[in-house]
Amino acid sequence: VAELGTPTILVNNAGGVFSSPLLETSENGWDALYRANLRHVLLCTQRVARTMVAAGLPGSIMSVTSIEGVRAAPGYAAYAAAKAGVINYTKTAALELAPHRIRVNAIAPDITMTEGLAALGGADASAAMGAVVPWGRPGHVDETAGVAVFLASDMSAYITGQTLHVDGGTHAAAGWYHNPQTGTYQLGP
């Protein structure tokens, strides 16, 4: 703070995921996913928001969550629960921090072609992932970053308590998939 000044923008972008079917999830596994995906959101938000409030500065706080926070995710119950927690926490924090002119929003990507994901599957994986996204391809990290830049800017000055889905239409599809043979949408792949 002494060197750079009071932070007025925070992006909570940390987490982790592993498959953990409900009946096999251990208490330690649940706690690990909670700590990685939800606890840090509270701690980082508190620290930065307290600094903004003390300085009397407005700001923007964002948390990267996941589409799994709003849909069932068989095999990933602990992860989905933590991401749902981030979404609800975002709404509550937005209300509590609004009097201080601090906006709080969430960004919920779906399949995003990160360097790690590309290294695991390459072009074949990208095509397969695109088949379940209405836009026809996985997202790019720059598209998610663009939403963060928007939410950090004054262009979003009246947006708070929202979750923006950066998912190529997956959230809107709600289980409907485009059938390339018929050109129509059907429920389920």
Judge whether 76 counts as a catalytic residue.
Answer: no
Encode 52-82 in three state secondary structure: HHHHCCCEEEEEECCHHHCCCCCCEHHHHHH
DSSP 26: -
Quote the CA–CA distance of 113 and 65 in Å, as a whole number: 16
* Closest by Cα among 82, 84, 70, 65 to 20: 82
- Dmax over Cα atoms in the chain, in whole Å? 62
Q: Among the options 79, 89, 177, 185, which is catalytic?
A: 79
Contact 70, 87 (CB under 8 A): yes
3-state secondary structure of 95: helix
Query: Which single residue is written with the structure tokens 């004054």?
Result: 154
Bridge partner list, 9? 60
Contact 186, 177 (CB under 8 A): yes
Instruction: Please say whether the dihedral angle defined by the alpha carbons of residues 58, 148, 30 and 77, taken in this order, is positive or negative.
Output: positive
| Residues classed as catalytic | 79
